[in-house]
A and B are shown apart, each in its own frame.
Chain A
Amino acid sequence: MSKLHVTTKINGDEVEFLCDPRETLLDVLRDRLGLTGAKEGCGTGDCGACSVTVDGRLVCSCLMLGAEAEGKEIATVEGIAEGEALHPLQKKFIEYAALQCGICTPGILVAAKNLLEKNPDPTEEQVRYWLAGNLCRCTGYDKIIRAVMDTAAEMREAS
């Protein structure tokens, strides 16, 4: 079985890789490209720990094949900070202690960033529905929601 050659863009960088046709984008990110920010929680699209964006659209990277990344623009949690400078969401997550074990955090950051890009002023209900596909078994969600709401408010003031 020959491998597929895929050319894509990840966090702004041109990337080429070879993958088996059965490999998911999550497998490729973690095992071939060393981008281990996206986590495998369930592998069936239920938990959101593997969330990335593809051409600006939030998806589970476990529900997409690596081969489907051809010609796409992928964004992962590794691209959220600019060098050492954390994104406002990352700062707020630390400030609010919106994480404990941290497995869900990369997916939640990617999902929350995607929401704020589409809707800079979401209601709490909108945030909760948007993040309904990101499971967290530690925090009880409340600190996550508050961190996202406060980030949104701060980013609106800053802009």
Chain B
Amino acid sequence: MHYHRPATFEDAVALATGSEGVTRFLAGGTDVLVQMRADIVTPDTLIDIKAIPGTHEIARQEDGGWRIGVAVTGAEMREHAELGRDWPGLVEAMDLIGSTQVQGRATLTGNLCNASPAADSVPAMIAAGVTATITGPGGTRTVPVEEIPAGPGKTTLARGEIITALHVPPRGTEGGDAYLRFIPRTEMDIAVVGCGVNLTVEGDTITHARMALGAVAPTAVLVHAAEDALVGRTLDEDALTALADLAEASCNPIDDKRGTIKFRTHVAGVLARRTAKIAFDRAKGAAK
């Protein structure tokens, strides 16, 4: 295995494009190293992107949004008070992953590219409307994060393509997000169901809504119909019931030791309600 530590993304792309066999990019390594040890993946080329300038930065953008570098760890996000005020759901989703030790290394971009259907940060990112800038042999493009996972362990990134940054939209004055997951214990487990909700309000009226579910389909699911179901109304019992029904209808889960299809589907509805309530309260609180 060849280990490289390029100083620019262009060099990283050139290395990935020019190498033969299996190539992996290395950020926090909390999935890649486990896969290497278990002989699930045996890279011929490993490209460590952490020496590239800017990859460790959380930067406020001119429009009020955020640029999150691809090597920023969960611990660094958790310690960033301003990011947490804007996007508490996104930060909490990332913070739910693994232990203190894992938080010291794990990254949002890594969680996205590992493409686990149960990745905690992914539904929160989709709900928040996060986009990813991708550089590759064919140039640079920016896509919504929901377009990156293609199925368990698979992404839509072409050979030689690498995510260079994640972009979180401006929070605005009256918005709130939340992420909840169900696990059978309190810590250190993989989501049976995860749910991210992001709402914007004017007074009591919802003006923008996005909901995404994790661990109930081969990829995280953006529930498109949630927007229509919530916009223009307040978060009353009818709205919550409609949202829970939409969540259940969006599920296409597997039966496994973590939960049955029936259980996961039911929990998706329950979490949709609870998560939406938190996001709504946060949006109203932000409005003051």
Contacts and interface: CB of A to CB of B under 8 A. Distances in A.
B1 A63 contact: no
B59 interface: no
Contacts of B20: none
A51 interface: yes
Contact of B48 (A67, A111, A129): A67
Contacts of B142: none
Interface in B88-104: 98-102, 104
B101 A48 contact: yes
A21 B187 contact: no
Given A68-B48, A132-B187, A133-B188, A60 B101 contact: yes
A129 B100 CA distance: 8
Interface in A49-93: 51, 54, 57-60, 62-65, 67-68, 70
B100 A64 contact: no
A120 interface: no
Interface in B55-108: 73, 75, 98-102, 104-105
Interface residues of B, number: 27
B3 interface: yes
B100 A130 contact: yes
Contact of B102 (A43, A60, A111, A129): A60
Interface in A9-43: 21-22, 24, 43
B102 A133 contact: yes
A96 to B, nearest CB: 21
A129 B99 CA distance: 8
A122 interface: no
B1 A45 contact: no
B219 interface: no
A123 to B, nearest CB: 15
Contacts of B46: 21, 65
A21 B99 contact: no
Which of A54, A59, A131, A132 has the most B CB atoms < 10 Å from its CB? A59
B187 A63 contact: no
B50 A63 contact: no
A100 interface: no
For B37, B46, B100, the residue with the greatest tally of chain A CB atoms inside 10 Å of its CB is B100
B33 A4 contact: no
A1 to B, nearest CB: 8
Given A57-B73, A129-B187, A63 B3 contact: no
Given A57-B104, A59-B104, A68-B50, A44 B34 contact: yes
Shortest 6 CB-CB contacts between residues of A and residues of B? A133-B99, A21-B3, A59-B104, A57-B104, A132-B187, A60-B101
Interface of B: 1-3, 5, 26, 28-30, 33-34, 36-38, 46, 48, 50, 73, 75, 98-102, 104-105, 187-188
Given A45-B99, A59-B105, 19 more contacts: A44-B34, A45-B30, A46-B99, A58-B100, A58-B104, A59-B101, A63-B30, A63-B102, A65-B3, A65-B26, A65-B29, A111-B101, A115-B100, A129-B100, A129-B187, A131-B100, A132-B99, A132-B100, A132-B187
